[in-house]
Structure 1
């Protein structure tokens, strides 16, 4: 049995190794405009101070105020504008790092940071389907209280010249992703996916069972009982909420755990397959290759972290 925390948001962050990256930022007094291609599957734009108007791939404009965050999923272009859309605006190239020549330290300057989310193939399969094309997280919303605090710390680091600011920004980037997902989880307009499943209180006990004991041969009746539903209603509700069947979700979670173990331990494929509930190492290898694209041994050689 693999024992995990009941906090399965933390489980996913730890095992999938979701990594938030702040790639750059600028501060400028309006009017200004910043346009560019989006090369990342999940892009993050946060307004630390002031406001900005966001346009992407023909969608309606998103008006971002101070403390707001936008998470963009599978967009190809974006344009940000500060001030009135009429008249000439100062053009700012998409920043990489903090270009001091672009920074405007005036208190009324609009201050914007951009970043993206990095994760592996199985993590993308788990997270991406449940994201909106444009998810506008309002900093003034009660669910974004901690998000506002993270953005305040990012502003401090961007505005100052303290030693270790690069390290600090990297840590705040992780918190920015975490708090953005927390603030998004309760939205009723999310597509089927992991975030909707996370917020579903009735399904959560069944998900907890699978996370706490992924190697067990779970029966639909057992999972349905945990959710206090009939088997039919549970199966329909789980698919409608997550986009997959309960056993497809369990399979993905097992592969997430397997990838993490292959990256960070010397656990043999034989032991790992038994721990995760597979009948044999060969059946585990087949399931792993079907999802991760390569056999476990190849994945380990390509991704293993240095062992201390």
Structure 2
């Protein structure tokens, strides 16, 4: 079975990266300014109250919960109890001590960022609210809790190959976070919702597998075993756009990857993606990205060295 979500993840070059964390006990608060577009905070153990710009009230994070911050500028995590003064905690980038962590009494937090290319930033920004609170509930969060514990074990273990292992576990944590979020939340119309819609999956498979074809409503509706009208209405409601617009966006994502990673000519790429001419493709590409195909190739390759 075609997995369109995995395809899109690869196209937008999504990566979960751990950037720090802390182990603390007692009353404390941690504050930070955010430079990343997408930040995640994972409550590996204990609990905390999360506050960020745009929230009217704090979000309670419990063990296994993860919050993804979408284009926020600052964040505050507070927690603990007791009569003593509230301590200011500075997250550390490395050296978290697993041996010093009591899973029953300490608050254990890992923080990181989600890196994507420009197309991915647009897609994820549309799919997520300002704060996506993913709860590690007993029914949907077992895998997420397990992934967080394995990630924390690698961050603190200082074993051979830990840097590689941390990158792999961070990827799996991010995948589990999005899987759990999809299960728990009524998603807004957009790419994440349409990619997880089982009724539309056969139609998406056609568009993803053969982007060079100009798929009509009749073909797509037949694949989804729906009437033309019902399919068009459902697709627009779920994707937030008609099928033709979705196909055009998918083509542009494929084009961006080809221009970044391959040496295919613009004319050959236009034919491969089903455009009648190089000029028609170039016009569509510039409308989507703000750059001509050749300019996009030059600027992206210059950024990546």
Query: Fold conserved (TM > 0.5)?
Result: yes
| TM superposition score normalised by structure 2 | 0.90
Residue deviations 1:191-225 (CA, integer Å, cap 9, x gap): 21122112221112111111111111100121122
Partner of residue 34, structure 1: 30
Native 8 Å contact 1:26 1:98 kept in 2 = no
**DSSP-derived class of the 2:245 partner:** helix
Native 8 Å contact 1:28 1:104 kept in 2 = no
Q: How does 1:144-183 map to 2 (within 5 A)?
A: 144-183=141-180
Measured in 2, the distance between the counterparts of 1:226 and 1:38 equals 45
> What displacement does 1:8 show?
0.7
Native 8 Å contact 2:11 2:254 kept in 1 = yes
Partner of residue 119, structure 1: 116
User: Cα 1:85–1:35, aligned 2, differ >3 Å: closer, same or farther?
Assistant: farther
Q: Mean alpha-carbon deviation: is it higher for 151-160 or for 132-141?
A: 132-141
> What displacement does 1:88 show?
2.9
**DSSP-derived class of the 1:277 partner:** coil
Aligned: 1:196 with 2:193: yes
Aligned: 1:278 with 2:259: no
Q: Mean alpha-carbon deviation: is it higher for 226-235 or for 215-224?
A: 226-235
Partner of residue 263, structure 1: 260
> What displacement does 1:186 show?
2.8
Partner of residue 236, structure 1: 233
**DSSP-derived class of the 1:142 partner:** coil
> What displacement does 1:141 show?
4.1
Among 75, 86, 90, the residue aligned to 2:72: 75
Measured in 1, the distance between the counterparts of 2:56 and 2:95 equals 29
Native 8 Å contact 1:43 1:116 kept in 2 = yes
Native 8 Å contact 1:154 1:169 kept in 2 = yes
Unaligned runs of 5+ in 1: none
**DSSP-derived class of the 1:215 partner:** coil
User: Cα 1:174–1:241, aligned 2, differ >3 Å: closer, same or farther?
Assistant: same
Partner of residue 61, structure 2: 64
Native 8 Å contact 1:25 1:112 kept in 2 = yes
Native 8 Å contact 1:34 1:92 kept in 2 = yes
Measured in 2, the distance between the counterparts of 1:156 and 1:261 equals 38
Aligned: 1:105 with 2:100: yes
Residue deviations 1:138-163 (CA, integer Å, cap 9, x gap): 22343333322221111111222212
Measured in 1, the distance between the counterparts of 2:35 and 2:236 equals 31
**DSSP-derived class of the 2:183 partner:** coil
Native 8 Å contact 1:127 1:193 kept in 2 = no
Partner of residue 51, structure 1: 47
Native 8 Å contact 2:98 2:153 kept in 1 = no
Q: How many residues are aligned here?
A: 300
